C-alpha cells in the first residue's frame, strides 16, 4: 500500500489499484472487464471488486449507457461486450505520476 498526497489529502493506493491504473493506461483508458482478472483456473479473482473505483477515476459503463465517444466506439467494435471499464485520463495519469515519485 502506497500513500500519496493527491488534491490536498492523502490517498492510499493498494497494489491492485496500481495494477488497474497501469492496465487502463496501457489500453488507452478503456478496456474490457476481462483485462482485470488475475490468476488461472479455479484461482481467478477480479481486481475490480476490491477497490474504490470512483476514488481512482475508474468506472464501469454498461452497454446501454455509454457517455463518451470512446465508449461508443468500443461497443461498436465489440458488440458482444456487456460492460466496459473506462478511466478518467487526467486523474489516472496524475495518480500514476505521483506513484512513480513516491
- Reported as a pLDDT band with limits 50, 70 and 90, residue 21 is very high
- Cα separation, 88 vs 38, in Å, equals 23
- Reported as a pLDDT band with limits 50, 70 and 90, residue 102 is low
Helix (H) or strand (E) holding 76: helix 69-77
Nearest by Cα to 56 from 19, 100, 87: 87
The pLDDT value recorded for residue 33 is 92
- Reported as a pLDDT band with limits 50, 70 and 90, residue 88 is very high
DSSP state of 67: -
Residue 100 has pLDDT above 90, yes or no: no
User: What are the boundaries of each domain within the chain?
Assistant: 2-101
The pLDDT tens digits of the residues spanning 37-73 come to: 999 999 999 999 877 899 999 999 999 999 999 999 9
- Cα separation, 48 vs 34, in Å, equals 10
Angle made by CA atoms 90, 60, 3, in degrees to the nearest 5: 50
Percent above pLDDT 90 for the chain: 81
pTM for the predicted model, two decimal places = 0.89
Amino acid at each position: 500500500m502506497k500513500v500519496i498526497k493527491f488534491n490536498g489529502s492523502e490517498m492510499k493506493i493498494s497494489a491492485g489499484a496500481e495494477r488497474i491504473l497501469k492496465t487502463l493506461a496501457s489500453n488507452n483508458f478503456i478496456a474490457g472487464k476481462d483485462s482485470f482478472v488475475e490468476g488461472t483456473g479455479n484461482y481467478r479473482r477480479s481486481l475490480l471488486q476490491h477497490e474504490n473505483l470512483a476514488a481512482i477515476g475508474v468506472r464501469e459503463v454498461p452497454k446501454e449507457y455509454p457517455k463518451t465517444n470512446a465508449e461508443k466506439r468500443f461497443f461498436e467494435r465489440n458488440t458482444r461486450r456487456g460492460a466496459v471499464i473506462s478511466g478518467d485520463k487526467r486523474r489516472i495519469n496524475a495518480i500514476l505520476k505521483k506513484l512513480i515519485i513516491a
